[in-house]
């Protein structure tokens, strides 16, 4: 099955775009803001909170960075206007980090102001290693302007435990995820079990230091292990939430968590860059191949 999964992942980039769109549609909340906002409302009605992400990264011009910034500002306004339970999660290279610190700081400051004006939260996604220290630096600077801002720490990085120890306190808000980027092998855990162990270690360390933690994983072993520890240690449900990617079939587990009073947030990517994102996600996660096979056959059946 593993060989078949990997074969399908290699084939995905060569499939027609329309077919990739059908296959990836469960994981993408549409192309337009209107489509995305409709899905946010749908998820809220089911009891989920949401983190909105406009797909894209590494913009090439100041104009592109400013357009993305304005779009996020508009989203904050719509969230307030529609009384939605959602915040924003963005990549700093999408608002100009590659163009220099002055450019990204200008746009990021505008977004922090928008979050503050709308009494909302802003999450800075973590990208690959060349951006890790810069992202943490910008987080610290923006935190001085507004405390409702958070960051992401990736469990596969060897440096992450020290980052958690340095950053964690009662005002620290962190999403902990495994990490998806191809990195220098000397800087990461290369064994899957080691990544699982480090993920659990990071969550426990952050919670023990009083941080608010977004436990972002589809790995039920990690979820069960952490939830058992949280229950045993009487960790307040106001100190953590579970986060999953839109479209990944975990309905029973998520409903169980919510039925026990836990917050579950759906990470909701959308936008014009759906194709590159879809191909990358499918290639980076061969376990999705089983879902892909099913969706391909369903889509072919519908087309006929």
Q: Which residue out of 53, 125, 163, 281 is catalytically annotated?
A: 125
Q: How far apart are CA 187 and CA 163, in angstroms?
A: 14
**In the block, which residue shows the tokens 């489509």?**
35
- d(C-alpha 53, C-alpha 143), whole Å: 20
88: nearest Cα among 159, 11, 33, 16:
33
3 state DSSP class of 155: coil
Q: How far apart are CA 88 and CA 130, in angstroms?
A: 23
- Give me the DSSP letters along 214-232: EEE---HHHHHHHHHHHHH
Cα–Cα dist 95/111, whole Å: 10
DSSP annotation of 174 reads E
Helices (H), 12-168: 17-24, 33-45, 62-81, 101-117, 132-143, 160-167
Q: Annotated catalytic residue: which of 53, 123, 163, 175?
A: 175
- How far, in Å, CA of 119 to CA of 162, rounded? 31
d(CA 114, CA 132): 24
What are the φ and ψ backbone dihedral angles of 111, each rounded to 5 degrees? -70, -35
User: Is 175 an active-site residue?
Assistant: yes
Phi, psi of 240 (to 5 degrees): -155, 165
Q: Which long-range contacts (CB under 8 A, 24 or more apart) does 189-198 make?
A: 189/155, 189/156, 189/157, 189/158, 195/155, 195/156, 196/221, 196/222, 198/155, 198/156, 198/160, 198/161
Is there a catalytic annotation at residue 272?
A: no
Residues catalogued as catalytic: 125, 175
């Amino acid at each position: 099955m593993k060989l078949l999964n990997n074969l399908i992942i290699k084939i995905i980039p060569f499939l027609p775009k329309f077919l990739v769109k059908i296959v990836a549609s469960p994981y993408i909340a549409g192309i337009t803001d209107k489509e995305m906002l409709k899905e946010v409302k749908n998820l809220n009605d089911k009891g989920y909170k949401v983190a909105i992400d406009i797909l894209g990264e590494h913009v090439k011009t100041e104009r592109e960075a400013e357009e993305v910034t304005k779009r996020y500002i508009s989203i904050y306004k719509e969230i307030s206007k529609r009384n939605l339970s959602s915040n924003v999660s963005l990549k700093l290279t999408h608002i100009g980090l590659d163009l220099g610190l002055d450019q990204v700081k200008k746009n990021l400051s505008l977004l922090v102001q928008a979050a503050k004006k709308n009494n909302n939260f802003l999450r800075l996604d973590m990208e690959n290693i060349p951006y890790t220290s810069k992202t943490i630096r910008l987080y610290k600077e923006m935190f001085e302007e507004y405390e409702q801002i958070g960051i992401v720490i990736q469990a596969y990085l060897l440096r992450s435990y020290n980052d958690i120890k340095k950053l964690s306190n009662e005002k620290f808000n962190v999403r902990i995820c495994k990490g998806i980027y191809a990195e220098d092998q000397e800087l990461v855990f290369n064994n899957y079990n080691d990544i699982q162990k480090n993920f659990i270690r990071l969550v426990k360390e952050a919670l023990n230091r009083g941080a608010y933690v977004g436990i972002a994983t589809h790995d039920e072993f990690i979820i069960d292990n952490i939830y058992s520890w949280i229950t045993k240690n009487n960790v307040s449900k106001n100190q953590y939430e579970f986060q999953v990617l839109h479209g990944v079939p975990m309905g029973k587990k998520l409903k169980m968590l919510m039925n026990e009073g836990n917050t579950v947030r759906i990470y909701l990517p959308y936008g014009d860059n759906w194709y590159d994102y879809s191909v990358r996600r499918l290639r980076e996660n061969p376990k999705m191949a089983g879902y892909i096979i099913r969706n391909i056959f369903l889509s072919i059946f519908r087309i006929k």
